A and B are shown apart, each in its own frame.
Chain A
Amino acid sequence: MSTNIQPLEFNGNWELSPSIESIEHLALKNQYGLFINGKFVNPISKKFFPTINPSNETKIAMIAEAQEKDVNLAVKSARDAYDGYWSKMPSKERSKYIFRIARMIQEKAKELSIIETLDGGKPIRESRDIDIPLAAAHFFYYAGWADKLNYAFPNKNPKSIGVAGQIIPWNFPLMMAAWKIAPALATGNTVVLKPAESTSLTALKLAEIVQEADLPPGVVNIITGPGSTGDLIVNHPGIDKIAFTGSTTVGKSIMKSIAGSSKKSTMELGGKAANIVFEDAPLDQAVEGVINGIYFNQGHVCCAGSRLFIQESVYETFIRKLKDRMQSLILGNPLDKNTDIGAINSNGQLININKYIEIGKKEGAEIFQLNCEIPLKGYWCAPTLFTNVSQSHAIAKEEIFGPVLGVQTFRTSNEVINKANNTPYGLSAGVWTDKGSKVFNLTSKLKAGVVWANTYNKFDPTSPFGGYKESGHGREGGLHGLEAYLNLS
């Protein structure tokens, strides 16, 4: 590889014209209440807060804040629904309801994807092609299991748990709701679900779907609010199980709160995944996987491949390919069908990401960013690449949850296995090599819940997902996802 060759130029010459998804036909209300016992009701406190579009800082709608009395009502309605009919209903009848929800998500896919993009800032390409189809797929998958639980767990006697309290994050709002609600319903539990404060809208649209699907009242309750609403759910004595997806810090505090109680829990927490590229890898496809691993959803992905390990012999080549590919990423209006990188979800998150970028520079890492126009309004962060990163740098150790990639090199398999496992997290990892035996060697030694080989960030409802170590416990998806909502005896 020669170094004095003119770099390739990807910008200018032939630019894409805007191709904006229309929002004129959206059925959005100005104000949303709490979905309790099959109806939208105002919070007892009458308190509402705005949800804003992070790409231009405009208000989209007002969202209800659930406080103690509202949470009590929601839990009571879930309990009544559980005791009254849902737990006794023949499982094939439960299954029909879940199939109905799945079909309705498909029918409303376009509307849901536009709302997801408006409220959360992610590119329409992703909400349209990934978030919403996967949400529907999850309901379809678990609808199929509902009347086959005895076959899923032979020689056991699977029994539902009761009322599940479910708290979900802002990075994949509808998809996370589907991951939580679908298996809980299939196994005969009722739920109280709280979406994240900054992205409540698609969960509330899901509440409308639940209503339209004629699900018995109280089986699904969706209540909105800040972290304090989540605390109320966690500490409520009427809750039998907590399913949480979010940061490790919050996850730890939840575990402290429920310690000593009979509450079961599943935690899907943070990550700092290693994406490992060997010299014999299909390099161009690995570049694509690295891009997809860290810049997908602006890096707001718990399993993001935020630590890139490149074998030293291909380091220069790989970095050049990576920088070339970064140049053709398009940052901008999330509703534009050509946008690759949307807005950062909230101002708070942007501040946090920028803090880490500053730390990275101070630590002596070398920064490379996509050279692009940043919109004047809204929260934005250009895709960022740090080279000369050390294992002891904060940007290599702590979860940034943004489009920031730190690159390190390695020489041997053993070295990279050690480095990859040298983290409190263990959610996911990626391995890139043409050699099958190397893939199997690494997958058996990497302490991570998911290891992708020659691909990254691929999700499927049939495949369990969850972490080692401080990335959490319990699994979502697949057969394992059923187990998390059952007592097996």
Chain B
Amino acid sequence: MFNNIKVDKVGIEDRINRITKRSLKSESKLRGLEMILSMIDLTTLEGMDTVKKVEQLCYKATHLHDQIPNLPNVAAVCVYPNMVKTASKALKDSDVLVASVATAFPSGNSTLAIKINDTKEAIEKGANEVDMVISRGKFHSGDYNYVFDEIAAIKDICGEKARLKVILETGELGDYDHIRFASEIAISAGADFIKTSTGKISPAATLPITLVMLEAIKDHYYSTGEMVGMKPAGGISNAKLALHYLMLVKETLGNLWLDKHWFRFGASSLANDVLMQIAKQKTGFYQSNNYFSKD
């Protein structure tokens, strides 16, 4: 079923080294920054999340920085299932989607029945997207069929109602070869997006890991013609790094993927740094971060 494609660590890192040497200035930088904003899944996934906190975050999602006209909204707000209702209500008149983590996020250590229920509930309450985690323990013990079947079962629940993002939790998978293989399992089992991390494990997203996953997406595209989305998440907190990610997507998958339908950033603090850079590009001056609302 799988090609058993190999990944060379040194080669992957060389390629990233080259991508990060791209110099983004003036017009291209501004356009890149605006694209980044539109691709953010604004995220809060904390034990101490409250209705008020989520409401504030949803307001931010649709009013990134009113002082600058014509800014795009973020792509989605990403919350725990018990906050989906709150988020849906707050975002109902906007183009911002509601994404919910599910399947016993972040460890994924629970029964399939509980995971299915978790997903069903999130969708019933109004989630447009489901961010599931794979069973890393099963992956490491070689039970790849279990990992595949579980993803396929969750995909079944999502059906046409919600797009499915599959979190590999790359920080727990180890080698690039594992990440490549897990990407292929997720894609074949029906993932609409593959996603690096929960944000709860370090290291979270990195450029080399993202490249390994983008290459899996590309190979899948060339063998089936189907597009799969990509979402690096965790640890992307500044605009410069996010621009490197965008450049990596552009040079690996091309124009089609430079769209929030196919590429997302999972981040909580990235938006403000991007806004600060946009303000700098438009006015010529850096403004204090106190001018950007922290929600």
Majority secondary structure, B binding face: helix
Complex interface residues of chain B between 26 and 71 (CB less than 8 A to chain A): 26-29, 31-32, 35
Counting CB contacts under 8 A, is A282 at the interface?
yes
22 contacts between A and B (CB under 8 A): A1-B222, A5-B222, A6-B225, A8-B221, A10-B255, A16-B22, A16-B24, A17-B28, A17-B29, A19-B23, A19-B25, A125-B21, A129-B21, A282-B5, A282-B6, A282-B7, A282-B11, A288-B11, A320-B222, A324-B254, A328-B251, A338-B23
Looking at chain A's contact residues, the main secondary structure is: loop
Q: Which residue of chain B has the shortest Cβ distance to A6 in the bound complex?
A: B225
Q: Using Cβ atoms and an 8 Å threshold, which residues of chain B touch A348?
A: none
Interface size class of A (residues with CB under 8 A): 35 or more
Which of chain A's residues have a CB closer than 8 A to the CB of B218? 8
Tell whether, in the assembled complex, residue B6 and residue A2 are in contact, meaning their CB atoms are under 8 Å apart.
no
B224-237 vs A: 1/0 string, CB under 8 Å?
11000000000000
CB distance A16 to B28 under 8 Å?
yes
What is the minimal beta-carbon distance from B162 to any residue of chain A, in angstroms?
Answer: 27
Query: Measuring CB to CB, which residues of chain A are less than 8 angstroms from any residue of chain B?
Result: 1-2, 4-6, 8-19, 125, 129, 280-286, 288-289, 317, 320, 324, 327-328, 337-338, 434, 454-455
| Residues of chain B lying within 8 A (CB to CB) of residue A129 | 21
Question: A9-B254, A10-B251, A283-B5 are known contacts. Are A2 and B28 too (CB-CB below 8 A)?
Answer: no
* Distance between Cα atoms of A473 and B32 in the complex (Å): 51
Once the chains bind, are B26 and A17 in contact (CB under 8 Å)? yes
Q: Are B12 and A285 in contact (CB under 8 A)?
A: yes
With A13-B258, A338-B22 given, can you name 5 additional A-B contacts, CB distance below 8 Å?
A9-B255, A17-B29, A19-B25, A284-B11, A327-B254
Number of residues from B at the complex interface, CB < 8 A: 36
**Which residue of chain A has the shortest Cβ distance to B11 in the bound complex?**
A285
- Measured CB to CB, the closest approach of chain A to B180, in angstroms, equals 9
Q: Which of A1, A18, A328, A434 contacts B223 (CB 8 A)?
A: A1
Whole-angstrom distance between the Cβ of B260 and the nearest chain A Cβ: 14
Closest A residue to B257 using CB positions: A8
Tell me the minimal C-beta distance from A439 to chain B in angstroms: 12
Contacts known (A13-B255, A434-B6); A5 close to B11, Cβ less than 8 A? no
A434 contacts across to B, CB distance below 8 A: 6, 8
Contact (Cβ within 8 A) B222 A285? no
Q: Which 9 A-B pairs have the closest CB atoms?
A: A285-B11, A282-B8, A19-B23, A8-B254, A13-B255, A285-B8, A337-B23, A17-B28, A434-B6
Residue in A2, A19, A288, A338 whose CB lies within 8 Å of B14: A288
Given contacts A129-B21, A289-B11, A328-B251, contact A281 B26 (CB under 8 A): no
Residues of A within 8 A of B223 (CB): 1-2
Residues of A within 8 A of B215 (CB): 284
Tell me if B161 counts as interface (CB < 8 A to partner A).
no
